[in-house]
Amino acid sequence: MTINTPLVNGTSYCTVTAYSNDSFEKTVEFYTRFLELEQLAEFSNKEAAILSNGIISIKVSLSVDAAKQSAVEEQIKQLESVTKTKDWRSQVSQTLVFNTSDIFSLQDALSTLEYPSQSYPSSINPMELYTIDPLGNIIGVTSTKNAVSIKPTKSSNSPVSVSSTNTDGSLSKNHSFTDLSYRMKTTDAYPSLPNKTTTAGKKSIAVMTSGGDAQGMNSNVRAIVRSTLFKGCRSFVVMEGYEGLVKGGPEYIKEVSWEDVRGWSTEGGTNIGTARCLEFRQREGRLLGAQHLIEAGVDALIVCGGDGSLTGADLFRSEWPSLIKELVDTNRISQEQFQRYQHLNICGTVGSIDNDMSTTDATIGAYSALDRICTAIDYVEATANSHSRAFVVEVMGRNCGWLALLAGIATSADYIFIPEKPATSSEWQDQMCDIVAKHRARGKRTTIVIVAEGAISADLTPISPADVHKVLVDRLGLDTRITTLGHVQRGGTAVAYDRMLATLQGVEAVNAVLESNPDTPSPLIAINENKIVRKPLVESVRLTKSVAEAIQAKDFKKAMSLRDTEFVEHLNNFMAINSADHNEALLPADKRLKIAIVNVGAPAGGINSAVYSMATYCMSQGHKPYAIYNGWSGLARHESVRSLKWEDMIGWQSRGGSELGTNRATPKDADMGMIAYYFQKYQFDGLVIVGGFEAFESLHQLERARDSYPAFRIPMVLIPATLSNNVPGTEYSLGSDTALNALMEYCDVVKQSAASTRGRAFVVDVQGGNSGYLATCASLVVGAHASYVPEEGISLEQLSQDIENLAEAFDRSEGRNGFGKLILKSTNASNALTAEDLARVITAEAKGQFDAKAAYPGHVQQGGLPSPIDRTRATRFAIRAVDFIENQQDTIRSAREANDDFTADDKAVSGTAAVLGVKGSHVVYTSIRQLYDYETEISKRMPKVIHWEQIRAIADHLVGRKRVD
C-alpha cells in the first residue's frame, strides 16, 4: 500500500479504546475521514484496528464494557452542552493534538461531517481546532509556526484540496486557505461561481504576468488568486513570467494565500514580476516549464500579458501532450503524474498599455497609460500657452496608434501620427502645416502634435519627433519643443477603470478555467463596450499579428479593417472635430440643420467635452450649433441662446465643470411655453440634452408636450451625464468615471492614513443619490471591507456582522503594516445613520479593539478635470447624437407635415426622442417613452433593473464579506 503525503503529523503512535462495537466502528470512521488515515488491513481485526498515514498511527482497540460506555456517552453529552460557553480543554485532563498545514480543509471536513468543533483564536482564521471523537476524547490540530506542517495529497474520494510538498522534499512555508465559501452565504446565482458540474475535481490554478508591465496587473492577480481560493482550489503565482516556469521550484512557483495579495489593487506594476525569456521560446525551455508545473501540482495556467505572451501560452498548451510524454519517457515525472496531468488549461487576460489586441475594446493598463499621457499634455499645454509654443509629444504604441489617437481626441491635439494611417512624406508635412496654420490663424496659442513611437510614412520610413520638430520650425517658424514621455506611461497606480477591468476579467478567467475541458479552445477574456466576454485566444492573437503584417506589406486599408470598429470610429471622429469649420462643409446646404445643446442637472466630468465635440462636428458637417446657457431657466428668463464658435471653445475638451452652466430646473419648472417660443424663434431642427435624471425628466416632458407645442416636434436625444449613473437606458453615464477616479484617489489616501494608525477604519460618505453604483464600484477598486447602498439599506443584522468581521480582520492582522480598513456608505443608504453616526456605532461596538472615523469627500466627486474615458466617450456620444438627429429628420418631417393629424403616440415618432446609452456590448438609442413608462422607478429616480448587481456581489466576495440574508 502507498501512503500519500499526510495531512497531519506529530505524535507518532497512540491507542484509544472503544467500549462497544458501535463506538468502535464510529471511531474508525472518524479518524479515517477527519484525519485522512488509512486502515492497515494486515494489522486489523474485529478487536483492533491500526490507522496510519505513514507518519502517525492510531490504534483503536475494542474492550466491551457497558458501564464505561455509558460514562463515555455522558462525557460526550456534557462536552457538547458547553461547546459555546466553555473551553473543552478545561473540562478534560488531556487532549490529543496533531500538526497540520491545512487547518481550513480540516475545518471544512468537520462542517461536512457535522462534528462539533471549537476554534482558536477565531473560526475565521483558526490556529487551533478541536473536536470530540466518538470515545469522548478531545482531538485537536494546530497550524502554529512550530508545527511540522506537511501539505496533503488528495485521494480520489477525499474532501481535502490537492497539495504537494516542495520538489526538494522540504516543507512549504506557504499556508493556503482552501475553501472560502463556508465563510459567507452564497447561492448558485452568484456570478463568479462555476457550474457545479465543472468542479468535480479541484484544480490548482497558477497565474503569471508576462511581457511589458501594465497598470492593473496586480488587480488581475489579486482577483485570480482570491477567486481561485474562494472556489476551493489551490492558488499559485509564477514569479518573473516565463522565466519562472523555466527555473521552477518553490522560489518561482509559489502557493499563495488570501492575505498574500491584500492591498495589491492600489499598487502599480506587477508584484510577481515579469521578464523576457529566450529559453521558453525553445522546446527544452517549455519542457522544463511543463515539468516544474507538474512538480508544483499545477494543472491550469492564466497568463496576463500581450500578444507575444499569449502566443507562447497557447503554443505551450498545444505541445503539452508531447511534452508530458517526453517527460514520462525520460523518467522526469512518474507514471502517476503523467496520468494526473494529461491536460493543461490555459486562459489569457490581456495586459498591455498599447491596447493592441484585436477583439477587445480595452486591455488592462491602456486607460492608465492614456491618463498619464493626457495629464502630461495638460501640463505641457499650460506652458505652451504661456510662450505660444508648439510641443511634439512622443507616446508609446509600437504597431498600434490607439494611445496617440485617444490622447489626440482627449486633449484636442492639432495633429497625430499613427502607424495605421500614414501619408507620404510630403503629404503629412502639408497636412500638418495646413491644420496648424489654420488653428493659429484663429487665435490658438498652442500647438500639440502627438507622435506614436511606431509612426511611419506610407513608404514605411519611420517618423520621429525630431522630423516633426524640424517641419514645424522650418515651415511655420514655431518655437517648438519635444517631450518624450517614455516609461512614465507605464508608471503609477492603475486608474479605476483598469482596476475594475482587471478584477472582473480575473474572476471570469477563473470561471473559464474551471469550466474548460480538454476540447475547449484556450479562451481570451475581453471586453466589448460594457460586457466581459470570452474570445478564442488563437484567433485574437492571429488578428493582432495580422495588423503588423498588413502594415509591413503597406496594406494600410487592411490594417485599419483589422482594428475594431471603435478604433475606426475614433479616428473618423478625430478628423471631423479637428477640422471644425476650417474646411468646406461635408453636407449640401439643404441638409444642414440648426442643432441646440443644453446641460441639465449637476456638473459631471465630460460635459464640456460633449459640447465641444458636438459643436465642432456640426461645423464639419455644415450644421449650425447653438448653446442654451444656464439650462432651461436661463432660456426661459433671459433668452440665453448663443451660436457656438470654434475659437470660443478652445480648451473646452479637457475642462471640468460646465462652461454652458447647468442647474436642476426642468422645462415645467422654468416655463414650458417660453421654451417652446424660443425653440420656434430659433427654428431648431434638433436638440441634444446632456445631463442626469433631471435631463431625463426634461426629455420626457418635452416629448409629451409635442401635442401642444409643435416646436418640440424635432429629434431630441439625451446623453446621460451624472456621477450617480442612474439614468435609465444606459449602463454608463458621462462623469461616472471621473467621479470614481476622484473617489478612488481619496479612498487610497484615507486608507493609507488608516493603515498608519493601527486599529483604525474609515467610514467614507459617497454621493450618488438613490444609486449605489459609485459606492459599489469604488468598493471593488479600493478593496473596501463593506459598502452600504440605498438599494439595500443598512440592516442591524448586516451591520453587526460587518463589525464582527472587522474585529476578526484586525485580530488576524497581527500588527502587519498597511492594514487599514474602509467602509463606504452612500449618503442615502440610511436616513437614520450618517457616516459620523455609523463611525460612532462601530467604535462603540468594537469595545476598544479598534476605532472608526468618518470621512467626507463631498463635491470632490463632482469636480476636477474629466478623465480620458469621459472625454473620449463624450466625443463619441456627441457625434452619435448628431448622427441620430440627422437620421431622424425624415421621420419627424413626415409627422410634422401631418399638422393636425400629428400622432405623438406613433412608435416611429416617439422614437425620435431617445436616450443614447450603452447596454452590454452595444450602443443603443431607446425611446424616452419606453424608458419612462416601463423601465423607471420614478419616485426613486432609478432604473428598475440594476445593471451593476454582479459587480456588487464580486466586490463583497473578493474581500470575504459575510452577507446576512
862 annotated to a ligand binding site: yes
- Catalytic site includes residue 354: yes
How far apart, in whole angstroms, are the C-alpha atoms of residue 200 and residue 308?
33
490 annotated to a ligand binding site: yes
- Phi first, then psi: give them for residue 740, nearest 5 degrees: -65, -40
396 annotated to a ligand binding site: yes
Dihedral angle, C-alpha 470, 474, 478, 480, nearest 10 °: 20
208 annotated to a ligand binding site: no
Cell triple for residue 423? Answer: 501619408
Q: Which of 314, 354, 414, 765 is catalytic?
A: 354
- Of 735, 740, 675, 738, the residue nearest 709 (C-alpha): 675
Render 188-257 in DSSP notation, one character per residue: TT-TTSPPGGG-SS--EEEEEE-SS--TTHHHHHHHHHHHHHHTT-EEEEETTTHHHHHH-STTTEEE--
853 annotated to a ligand binding site: yes
How far apart, in whole angstroms, are the C-alpha atoms of residue 206 and residue 225?
8
How far apart, in whole angstroms, are the C-alpha atoms of residue 943 and residue 269?
38
481 annotated to a ligand binding site: yes
306 annotated to a ligand binding site: yes
How far apart, in whole angstroms, are the C-alpha atoms of residue 310 and residue 347?
9
860 annotated to a ligand binding site: yes
H or E element at residue 466:
helix 465-476
Conformation bin of residue 449: beta by default, left when phi > 0, alpha when psi is -120 to 50: beta
23 annotated to a ligand binding site: no
C-alpha atoms less than 13 angstroms from C-alpha of 267 in its C-beta half-sphere: 14
Helices 496-515 and 736-756 meet at what angle, rounded to 10? 90
952 annotated to a ligand binding site: no
963 annotated to a ligand binding site: no
723 annotated to a ligand binding site: yes
725 annotated to a ligand binding site: yes
Cell triple for residue 659? Answer: 462652461
The helix/strand/coil state of 258 is helix
398 annotated to a ligand binding site: yes
Helix ranges, 273-422 (H): 283-296, 307-329, 335-340, 366-387, 402-411
542 annotated to a ligand binding site: no
244 annotated to a ligand binding site: no
CB atoms under 10 Å from CB of 155, counted, come to 12
> The dihedral of CA 733, 716, 876, 868: what is its sign?
negative
73 annotated to a ligand binding site: no
Cell triple for residue 705? Answer: 408636450
Contact 725, 604 (CB under 8 A): no
499 annotated to a ligand binding site: no
164 annotated to a ligand binding site: no
Cell triple for residue 687? Answer: 436638440
389 annotated to a ligand binding site: yes
Instruction: Please give the sequence-ordered ranges of beta strands (E in DSSP) within 543-666, or none if there are none.
Output: 594-600, 624-628, 641-643
947 annotated to a ligand binding site: no
The helix/strand/coil state of 786 is strand
619 annotated to a ligand binding site: no
How far apart, in whole angstroms, are the C-alpha atoms of residue 606 and residue 410?
10
488 annotated to a ligand binding site: yes
453 annotated to a ligand binding site: yes
309 annotated to a ligand binding site: yes
How far apart, in whole angstroms, are the C-alpha atoms of residue 504 and residue 717?
31
Residue linked to cell 456534557: 78
307 annotated to a ligand binding site: yes
| Residues placed in the known binding site for ATP | 212, 276-277, 306-309
| Residues placed in the known binding site for beta-D-fructose 2,6-bisphosphate | 664, 722-726, 760, 767-769, 853, 859-862, 941
| Residues placed in the known binding site | 212, 276-277, 306-309, 352-354, 389, 396-398, 453, 481, 487-490, 664, 722-726, 760, 767-769, 853, 859-862, 941
| Residues placed in the known binding site for Mg(2+) | 307
Query: What is the set of active-site residues?
Result: 354
| Residues placed in the known binding site for substrate | 352-354, 389, 396-398, 453, 481, 487-490
